[in-house]
Amino acid sequence: MLRIEHLTKKYGDKTAVDDLNLHIQKGEIYGFIGHNGAGKTTTLKSVVGILQFDRGEIYIGGESVKEQPLKCKSKIAYIPDNPDLYDYMTGIKYLNFIADIFKVSAADRKERIHKYADLFEITDELAQPIAAYSHGMKQKLAIISAWLHEPELIIMDEPFVGLDPKASHLLKEMMRAFCDNGGAIFFSTHVLEVAEKLCDKVAIIKGGKLIRQGTMDEVKGDESLEDVFLELEK
């Protein structure tokens, strides 16, 4: 579903991501962990077409993000680390805007908005301008918009930040259901307990280089993910 080959991205002289290779298959929840400044956001933004990269290739469903950017974007949803949505829109207007872009039918959008807004308990707030939302409410709206158009791949940067425990639990269930239905998820997190419980596979990045990747068993064996991570970070 997602194939990253030799991804290299520099900011001036600084190499933020260095020859990174990763393959994510349908059905997989893939966690991406690393210290602050390790290169996670740079990698995710390269995948979703926000950042140009210096070397390498990224394929989504077999299509190159460089050669077929629109086709690739039609297959994915992206939740950035900071849900900076359009403050002047109401929540419902924003969701309809996203549904318009992805050509979701009137019946489908109505059903999905109703379902997810109810689950996240923000139905009443959808009529309010996004400027009046808390960080967690914006995050919930961003999550609903990602699930609205039934993408094949969801990319999320620190999706659990700002969510209350109930919403975090719901998101984990939604992620599992999405991948059990043939989707794939690639997400960054600093919460190692979440990664350990939720992910099928995990990749650890350090100073722009991938230093460990594989199934949870391959990466951590009998140890805790936290112990392995702290050991690798030394």
Ligand X SMILES: Nc1ncnc2c1ncn2[C@@H]1O[C@H](COP(=O)(O)OP(=O)(O)OP(=O)(O)O)[C@@H](O)[C@H]1O
- Where along the sequence are the contacts to ligand X (CB under 6 A)? 11, 14, 16, 34, 36-42
Nearer to ligand X, 13 or 124 (CB): 13
Minimum CB separation of residue 226 from ligand X in Å reads: 16
Strand 201-206 vs strand 2-11: parallel, antiparallel, or unpaired?
A: unpaired
Local structure of residue 152 (DSSP, 8 states): S
Strand 55-60 vs strand 2-11: parallel, antiparallel, or unpaired?
A: antiparallel
64 backbone dihedrals φ, ψ, rounded to 5° = -75, 135
Cβ pair 132, 88 in contact under 8 A: no
Minimum CB separation of residue 130 from ligand X in Å reads: 23
Nearer to ligand X, 42 or 96 (CB): 42
Cβ pair 20, 6 in contact under 8 A: yes
Minimum CB separation of residue 158 from ligand X in Å reads: 7
Cα 228 from Cα 219, distance rounded (Å): 8
Cα 186 from Cα 184, distance rounded (Å): 7
Nearer to ligand X, 18 or 152 (CB): 18
Minimum CB separation of residue 20 from ligand X in Å reads: 11
Nearer to ligand X, 125 or 157 (CB): 157
